Structure 1
Amino acid sequence: MTDLEFMDRAEAVLRAIEANCDRINDAGDADIDNQRVGGMVTLVFPDRSQIVVNLQKPLHEIWLAARAGGFHYKFDGQRWMDTKGQGEFFASLSRHASEQARVALAFAA
């Protein structure tokens, strides 16, 4: 994958995260504050815990930092998959965000 292809795909992930936060906030009581600065999105939950998603252009990876730890994702041609076999990015984001928000949340591409 070229740097340009990575940035196109990775930027789409960040836009999807922002759109999902808007949808979640409009539909329920989760109240997730999302802040975007360049290639990084920070989700802040009511208990002040955070999830940070940022792009690692030199490695062609997306990194997710949550209360549960740090995770790295590479594009496999179809989806962003954890480099240590822990699953797909949006499924993982949904799981970690649900834990931190204490309510079931669903993020999708």
Structure 2
Amino acid sequence: MTDQEYMDRAEALLKAVEQACDRINETTDADIDNQRVGGMVTLVFRNGSQIVINLQKPLHEVWMASRSGGYHYRFDGSAWMDTKGAGEFFAHLSREASAQAGMALDFSS
């Protein structure tokens, strides 16, 4: 993957996260505050916990940090997959956000 292909796909991922937060806030009472600064999106939950998603341009990865730990994702040609087998990015984000929000939340691309 070229640097430009990585940036296009990574930016699309961050935009999808932001749009999912907007949709979740409109359809639930989760009240997720999403803040974007450059290549990083921070999700802040009502209980003060956070999930941070940021781009790692030199590695062509996307990193996610949540209460349960840190995760690295690479695009495999069809999806962003965890480099250590934790699964697809959006499914994993849904599980982590649900745990931190205390309610079922669905993030999808």
- TM superposition score category, shorter chain reference: over 0.9
Give the Cα–Cα distance (whole angstroms) in 1 for the partners of residues 2 and 33 of structure 2: 32
Structure 2: how far apart are the matches of 1:43 and 1:16? Answer: 13
Q: TM-score, normalised by structure 1?
A: 0.99
RMSD across aligned C-alpha pairs, in angstroms? Answer: 0.3
* Structure 1 unaligned residues grouped into runs of 5+: none
- Cα distance, 1:100 vs. partner? 0.1
Which residues in structure 2 correspond to 1:49-68 (within 5 Å)? 49-68=49-68
| Whole-angstrom distance in 1 between the partners of 2:86 and 2:34 | 24
Q: What is the aligned-residue identity percentage?
A: 72
Which residue is 2:16 aligned to? 16
Offset of residue 82 of structure 1? 0.2
Report how far residue 85 of structure 1 moved: 0.8
Residue in 1 aligned with 2:47? Answer: 47
1:101 equivalent to 2:101? Answer yes
Q: Which 5+ residue runs of structure 2 have no aligned equivalent?
A: none
What's the CA shift string for 1:10-46, capped at 9, x where partnerless? 0000000000000000001000000000000000000
Counterpart of 2:103, as a letter, is V
Q: Supply the distance in 1 between the matched residues of 2:24 and 2:48 (Cα, whole angstroms).
A: 17
Runs ≥4 in structure 1, deviation > 6 angstroms? none
User: Is the aligned partner of 1:87 residue 2:94?
Assistant: no
Q: 1:86 and 1:6 mapped to 2: Cα distance? A: 21
Deviation at 1:58, TM superposition (A): 0.2
Paired residues for 1:71-82 under 5 Å: 71-82=71-82
Scaled by the length of structure 2, the TM-score of the pair is 0.99
Return the alpha-carbon distance in structure 1 between the equivalents of residues 46 and 86 of structure 2.
Answer: 27
